[in-house]
């Protein structure tokens, strides 16, 4: 079943803010929260992630009906990619080197910003590319 395309974009906007605050403050705990949010989105899909639940409960009722839908698999893969970068960032912040935490968090922030601001999901595009490479043509 396809999902409202505005949901993942909302989640990317919240993620952008969270990751920007992580870079400004150096808060490993806030990055740990974002890592958990990525993990829940990767495991259960973006509709079951904390930001997806917030979108469904608070934001979507205030919007008109959705006009654009998308398959849930590419955003779910994007959450898994975000999880990897956030996990590497946590290692950098907690165990060092600090530049690793900053670089991994910055990369995740760049991807989230592209999705939130322009609707261009790097993780989704990677998913589609991998799918084209691994699934034989019919």
In this prediction, residue 8 carries a pLDDT of 96
In this prediction, residue 138 carries a pLDDT of 64
| Residue 119 backbone dihedrals phi, psi, to 5 degrees | 70, 20
What's the pLDDT tens digit per position in 74-97? Answer: 999 999 999 999 999 999 999 999
What's the pLDDT tens digit per position in 25-34? Answer: 999 999 999 9
In this prediction, residue 1 carries a pLDDT of 87
pTM: 0.93
Share of the chain above pLDDT 90, in %: 94
What's the pLDDT tens digit per position in 3-25? Answer: 999 999 999 999 999 999 999 99
Task: Give the Cα separation of 88 and 70 in Å (integer).
Answer: 29
Q: What is the mean pLDDT of the chain?
A: 95
In this prediction, residue 137 carries a pLDDT of 66
Q: Which run of H or E residues covers position 70?
A: strand 69-70
Is residue 35 scored above 90 in pLDDT? yes
Quick one: 8 exposed, middle or buried, by C-beta within 10 A (0-12, 13-18, 19+)?
A: buried
């Amino acid at each position: 079943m396809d999902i409202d395309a505005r949901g993942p974009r909302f989640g990317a906007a919240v993620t952008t803010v969270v990751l920007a605050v992580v870079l400004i403050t150096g808060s490993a705990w806030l990055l740990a929260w974002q890592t958990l949010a990525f993990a829940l989105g990767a495991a259960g899909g973006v509709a079951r992630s904390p930001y997806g639940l917030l979108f469904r409960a608070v934001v979507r009722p205030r919007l008109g009906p959705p006009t654009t839908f998308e398959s849930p698999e590419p955003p779910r893969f994007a959450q898994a990619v975000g999880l990897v970068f956030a996990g590497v960032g946590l290692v950098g912040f907690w165990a060092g080197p600090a530049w690793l935490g900053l670089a991994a968090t910055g990369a995740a922030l760049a991807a989230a910003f592209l999705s939130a601001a322009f609707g261009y999901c790097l993780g989704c595009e990677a998913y589609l590319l991998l799918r084209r490479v691994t699934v034989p043509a019919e």
